[in-house]
């Protein structure tokens, strides 16, 4: 930078020649230099102030805009992100038809150890074993004193357990925040819900995935963030389910049964209001699948859906309904029942001698195998197959649990005339209680097939017609007579007209070598109210024995029927059905005169 000299020689010489004072020139130059410096400093300061004003204005605008956004947004609990790879484990709730909670998420903690940071490892192991008695003390000492730098101890803790571990006070014990699946009702509807477990996980979060039941069937939907956490609404009614489980458990214990199942279904919508399988389990602590023995012996086995049984005489009403639908018989048609009925080297017998002939109605009321088999001979194998296929007995039920996919009914490889005869009264074909419920629903609703569902529906199903309304109505009247006059007399419930059919089938041996002589599957398939059915109820008991009399009794009339009657008496008021009290006889009135 070139600066102007304060005493330029040329100006000084010129001023001396003119007789002027040269110092004036220096003072003037100094004044001009100071003015220039002052102008530059003022310009620099004004520029800085302008920049600062812009920055402050931008800051105020940003803060104001953020405050406005926060003011008009919903309040959300802040969550700490432990890492960029945190696993999102949020899962939607599951509720019953009334919106009551069946499954939800609960914030909990995991427990892990970092042995290099531990101070007194042996003391820590002893105190951990006191808190968690199922831990292996020797294994923990080996893990803590070895080369491992990380050891899982517990993947979920209760608040009490977390506090107890915290009181140990060792820096090598660490907690991680995560979510777990909680079933607040314990064992209630355990086989429907199935259960959940952890998928991908780290110390601070875990992915909750379904492992069975509706939890696995709807796993993607329950984990889908685009659903906005919308709850999955099931068709179950929590109070009805609780009542059904209590009654069935009491009946199973009272009748010394190995297991039991029940299905309560709306005959118009196909909604399953209650479904029970015993023994059951707590999905909060789901047991491991069995590695040996039979799957049916595990509490995880869903007898109502997975259990395939010969359901005995409950099938007879299908044979009668088809015979009436084809015009081969009417309720008063006489059919030969003299026996035994021979087919080759095989003989078909009745439980009792019912005489030489019975009407079609009496065959159902008295449960004649011979009369039913003769009807099946007239119907024929092909027509019988088509009718049972239309009712859904040739394929697994489409109910929304993963276990249903493997419940393929067991059909004879060679559907001979003998198979046609035995299948007519429920032997030679194995199906689940849920299959039976769907079949009886078609009779109850006037002849239309309905598909069982565990999802809430607001409208009836308009399924294909499998029989006429007239045939269905005649079949319902027969089922009512079974309760009032036949083998299900213990099934009559005061105030609620019940119709149904008993079935007692010998239990096949596990190795496939014939049947047990003293073990049965006792089933009662019912509908109520019988004059205008709203619901079907299936109750099945595995190896029941009624021992109140001098001899043990195993038939469904003595076992499954009383349990079903008690269940109907309990759940019918919960379903909003008012009892229909029949008026008694009026007392005689005697007229007198004064």
- What does the pLDDT look like over 173-203, one tens digit per residue? 988 888 889 999 999 999 999 999 888 877 7
The pLDDT of residue 586: 52
- Percent of the chain beyond pLDDT 90? 60
Q: How many residues does the chain have?
A: 594
The pLDDT of residue 303: 95
* Closest to 120 in 3D by CA, of 144, 136, 138: 144
Three-state SS for 37?
helix
What number is the average pLDDT over the span 520-540? 96
* In contact, 544 and 560? CB cutoff 8 Å: yes
90: pLDDT strictly greater than 90: no
CA distance 564 to 537: 8
* In contact, 319 and 376? CB cutoff 8 Å: yes
What number is the average pLDDT over the span 371-390? 95
CA distance 44 to 67: 35
For the chain, the 3-state helix, strand and coil shares in percent, each to the nearest 5, are: 40, 20, 40
- What does the pLDDT look like over 129-139, one tens digit per residue? 999 998 888 88
What number is the average pLDDT over the span 74-96? 61
86: pLDDT strictly greater than 70: no
85: pLDDT strictly greater than 60: no
| Phi and psi angles of residue 522, each rounded to the nearest 5 degrees, phi first | -100, 125
User: What is the rounded radius of gyration, in angstroms, for the C-alpha atoms of the chain?
Assistant: 41
The pLDDT of residue 3: 64
DSSP assignment, residue 101?
Answer: E
- What does the pLDDT look like over 558-576, one tens digit per residue? 999 999 999 999 999 999 9
Helix or strand (DSSP H, E) at 318? helix 316-325
76: pLDDT strictly greater than 70: no
DSSP string, 412-453: -SS--HHHHHHHTTT-S-BB-HHHHHHHHHHHHTTSB----B
In sequence order, the 6+-apart residues with CB closer than 8 A to the CB of 388 are 318, 394, 423, 429
Look up the pTM and report it: 0.80
3-state SS string for 556-570 = CCCCHHHHHHHHHHH
81: pLDDT strictly greater than 60: no
Best-predicted range by mean pLDDT (144-158, 443-457, 507-521, 570-584): 443-457
What number is the average pLDDT over the span 302-322? 95
250: pLDDT strictly greater than 80: yes
Calculate the alpha carbon distances from 250 to 238, 564, 567 in Å: 18, 12, 11
């Amino acid at each position: 930078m070139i600066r102007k000299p304060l005493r330029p020689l040329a100006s000084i010489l010129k001023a001396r020649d003119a007789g002027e004072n040269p110092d004036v020139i220096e003072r003037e130059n100094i004044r001009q230099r100071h003015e220039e410096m002052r102008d530059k400093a003022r310009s620099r300061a004004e520029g800085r102030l302008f920049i600062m004003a812009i920055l402050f204005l931008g800051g105020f605008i940003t803060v104001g805009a953020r405050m406005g956004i926060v003011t008009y947004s919903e309040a959300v609990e802040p969550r700490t992100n432990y890492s960029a790879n945190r696993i999102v484990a949020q899962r939607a709730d599951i509720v019953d038809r009334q919106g009551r909670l069946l499954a939800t998420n609960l914030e909990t903690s995991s427990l892990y150890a970092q042995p290099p940071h531990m101070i007194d490892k042996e003391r820590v192991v002893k105190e951990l074993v006191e808190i968690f008695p199922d831990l292996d003390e020797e294994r923990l000492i080996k893990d803590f004193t070895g080369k491992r730098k990380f050891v899982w101890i517990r993947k979920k803790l209760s608040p009490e357990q977390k506090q107890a571990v915290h009181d140990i006070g060792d820096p090598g014990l660490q907690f991680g925040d995560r979510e777990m699946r909680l079933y607040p009702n314990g064992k209630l509807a355990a086989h429907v819900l199935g259960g959940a477990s952890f998928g991908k996980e780290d110390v601070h979060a875990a992915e909750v995935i379904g492992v069975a039941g509706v939890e696995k069937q709807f796993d993607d939907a329950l984990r889908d963030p685009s659903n906005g956490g919308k709850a999955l609404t099931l068709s179950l009614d929590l109070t009805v389910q609780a009542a059904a489980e209590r009654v069935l458990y009491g009946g199973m214990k009272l009748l010394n049964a190995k297991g039991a199942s029940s299905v309560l279904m709306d005959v118009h919508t196909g909604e399953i209001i209650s479904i029970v399988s015993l023994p059951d389990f707590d999905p909060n602590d789901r047991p491991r699948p069995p590695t040996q023995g039979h799957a049916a012996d595990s509490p995880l086995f869903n007898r109502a859906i997975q259990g395939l049984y010969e359901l005995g005489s409950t099938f007879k009403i299908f044979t009668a309904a088809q015979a009436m639908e084809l015009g081969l018989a009417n309720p008063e048609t006489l059919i030969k029942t003299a026996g035994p009925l021979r087919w080759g080297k095989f003989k078909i017998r009745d439980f009792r001698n019912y005489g030489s002939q019975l009407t079609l109605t009496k065959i159902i009321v008295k449960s004649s195998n011979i009369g039913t088999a003769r009807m099946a001979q007239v119907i024929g194998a092909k027509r019988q197959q088509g009718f049972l296929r239309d009712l859904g007995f040739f394929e697994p039920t489409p109910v929304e649990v993963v276990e249903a996919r493997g419940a393929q009914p067991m059909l004879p490889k060679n559907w001979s005339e003998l198979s046609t005869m035995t299948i007519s009264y429920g032997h030679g074909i194995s199906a689940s209680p849920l299959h039976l419920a769907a079949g009886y629903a078609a009779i109850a609703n006037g002849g239309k097939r309905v598909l069982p569902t565990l999802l809430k529906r607001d409208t009836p199903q308009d399924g294909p017609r499998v029989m006429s309304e007239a045939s269905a109505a005649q079949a319902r009247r027969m089922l009512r007579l079974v309760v009032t006059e036949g083998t299900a007399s213990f099934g009559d419930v005061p105030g609620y007209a019940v119709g149904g059919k008993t079935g007692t089938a010998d239990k096949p041996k596990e190795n496939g070598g014939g049947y047990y002589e003293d073990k049965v599957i006792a089933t009662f398939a019912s509908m109520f109210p019988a004059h205008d059915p709203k619901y079907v109820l299936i109750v099945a008991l595995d190896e029941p024995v009624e021992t109140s009399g001098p001899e043990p009794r195993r038939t469904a009339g003595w076992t499954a029927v009383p349990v079903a009657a008690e269940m109907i008496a309990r759940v019918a008021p919960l379903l909003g059905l008012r009892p229909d009290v029949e008026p008694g006889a009026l007392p005689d009135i005697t007229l007198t005169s004064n």
